[in-house]
Chains A and B, each alone.
Chain A
Amino acid sequence: MSEQDNNGRNGKRPFSFHTDLSVFMPATEEEKAQQDIMRPSSTFWRDGFRNFRKNKLAFGSLILLIIIIFTILIVPMLIPYGYDEIIRIDGKRDKTLSNLKPMQWSERELEAKANGKEIFPHILGTDSLGRDYLVRTLYGTRISLFIGFFASIIVLIIGLLYGSISGFAGGKIDLLMMRIVDIIYSLPDMLLIILLSVVLREAIGDKIQGTFLSKLGTGMLSMFIVFGLLYWVGMARLVRGQILAIKENDYVLAARSVGASNARIIRKHILPNCISVIIISTALQIPSAIFTESFLSFLGLGVAMPMPSLGSLASDARGAIQSYPHKLLYPALMICLLVLTLNIIGDGLRDAFDPKLRK
Chain B
Amino acid sequence: MWRYFVKRIALAIVTVFAVMAITFFAMNAIPGGPFDTEKASEPAVKAKLEERFNLDKPVGEQFVLYIGRLFQGDLGISMRNGREISLIIKQSFAISAKLGGISALVAISLGLTLGIIAARYRNKWPDRVIIFFTTLLQSVPSFVLATLLLLVFTTQLKLIVAWDANKVNYLLPVISLAMYPMAYITRLTKSSMLDVMNEDYIRTARAKGVPRLSVTYKHGLRNALLPVITYIGPMIAYILVGSMVVETVFTIGGLGQEFVNSVNNRDYSMIMGTTIFLSIIMVTMNLISDLVYKVVDPRIDFS
Instruction: Known A188-B19, A318-B249; judge A340-B141 contact (CB<8 A).
Output: no
Q: Which of A192, A198, A299, A328 touches B22 (beta carbons < 8 Å)?
A: A192
A186 touches B12 (CB 8 A): yes
The prevalent SS among residues of A at the interface is: helix
Question: Distance in Å from the Cβ of B249 to the closest Cβ of chain A?
Answer: 7
Q: How far is the CA of A344 from the CA of B141 in the complex (A)?
A: 16
A300 touches B144 (CB 8 A): no
Question: Distance in Å from the Cβ of A237 to the closest Cβ of chain B?
Answer: 10
B264 touches A186 (CB 8 A): no
Chain A 257-287 per-residue mask, 1 if CB under 8 angstroms from chain B, else 0: 0000000000000000000000000000001
Segment at the A interface, from B84-92, B119-127, B146-154: B146-154
A195 at the B interface (CB under 8 A):
yes
Instruction: Known A188-B282, A322-B155, A332-B148; judge A199-B237 contact (CB<8 A).
Output: no
Instruction: Known A188-B283, A321-B155, A322-B155; judge A314-B29 contact (CB<8 A).
Output: no
Instruction: Known A203-B30, A294-B141; judge A329-B279 contact (CB<8 A).
Output: no
Chain B 175-205 per-residue mask, 1 if CB under 8 angstroms from chain A, else 0: 0000000000000000000000000000000
With a CB–CB cut-off of 8 A, which chain B residues contact A194?
263, 275
Report the nearest A residue to B290, measured CB to CB.
A186
Instruction: Known A191-B278, A191-B279, A332-B148; judge A301-B143 contact (CB<8 A).
Output: no
Chain B 225-264 per-residue mask, 1 if CB under 8 angstroms from chain A, else 0: 0000000000001000100110001000000000010011
A195 touches B15 (CB 8 A): no
With a CB–CB cut-off of 8 A, which chain A residues contact B245?
295, 298-299
Name B258-292 residues within 8 Å CB distance of A: 260, 263-264, 266, 268, 271, 275, 278-279, 282-283, 286
Q: How far is the CA of A328 from the CA of B271 in the complex (A)?
A: 29
With a CB–CB cut-off of 8 A, which chain A residues contact B271?
195, 198
Q: Which of A182, A191, A202 touches B275 (beta carbons < 8 Å)?
A: A191
Chain A interface size, as a band, is: 35 or more
B26 at the A interface (CB under 8 A):
yes
Report the nearest B residue to A237, measured CB to CB.
B303
Q: How far is the CA of A325 from the CA of B141 in the complex (A)?
A: 19
Chain B 1-35 per-residue mask, 1 if CB under 8 angstroms from chain A, else 0: 00000000001101100110011001101111000
With a CB–CB cut-off of 8 A, which chain B residues contact A322?
154-155
Q: How far is the CA of A231 from the CA of B31 in the complex (A)?
A: 28
B94 at the A interface (CB under 8 A):
no
Q: Which of B136, B151, B282 touches A321 (beta carbons < 8 Å)?
A: B151
Chain B 104-137 per-residue mask, 1 if CB under 8 angstroms from chain A, else 0: 0000000000000000000000000000000110
A321 touches B143 (CB 8 A): no
Chain A 331-342 per-residue mask, 1 if CB under 8 angstroms from chain B, else 0: 010011001100
Q: How far is the CA of A192 from the CA of B278 in the complex (A)?
A: 11
A66 at the B interface (CB under 8 A):
no
B140 at the A interface (CB under 8 A):
yes
Question: Distance in Å from the Cβ of A182 to the closest Cβ of chain B?
Answer: 6
Chain A 81-125 per-residue mask, 1 if CB under 8 angstroms from chain B, else 0: 000000000000000000000000000000000000000000000
With a CB–CB cut-off of 8 A, which chain A residues contact B237?
188, 190
A149 at the B interface (CB under 8 A):
no
A298 touches B154 (CB 8 A): no
B81 at the A interface (CB under 8 A):
no
A183 touches B18 (CB 8 A): yes
Q: Which of B144, B278, B282 touches A335 (beta carbons < 8 Å)?
A: B144
Q: Which of A191, A195, A203, A295 touches B143 (beta carbons < 8 Å)?
A: A295
A343 touches B278 (CB 8 A): no
Report the nearest A residue to B287, measured CB to CB.
A186
Question: Distance in Å from the Cβ of B226 to the closest Cβ of chain A?
Answer: 18
A196 at the B interface (CB under 8 A):
yes
Chain A 169-194 per-residue mask, 1 if CB under 8 angstroms from chain B, else 0: 00000000000001100111011101
B138 at the A interface (CB under 8 A):
yes
Q: How far is the CA of A331 from the CA of B283 in the complex (A)?
A: 34
Closest 10 CB pairs of A and B: A340-B139, A339-B139, A186-B15, A202-B30, A190-B241, A188-B282, A199-B26, A332-B144, A188-B279, A298-B143
Q: Name 7 A/B residue pairs within 8 A (Cβ), A-sorted.
A: A187-B18, A191-B19, A195-B23, A195-B275, A198-B263, A202-B32, A343-B135
Known: A188-B19, A294-B144, A295-B143. 13 other contacts (CB 8 A): A187-B19, A188-B237, A191-B278, A191-B279, A198-B266, A198-B271, A294-B143, A295-B241, A328-B147, A328-B151, A336-B136, A339-B141, A343-B135
A binding-site residues for B, Cβ under 8 Å? 182-183, 186-188, 190-192, 194-196, 198-199, 202-203, 287, 291, 294-295, 298-301, 311, 314, 317-318, 321-322, 325, 328-329, 332, 335-336, 339-340, 343-344, 347
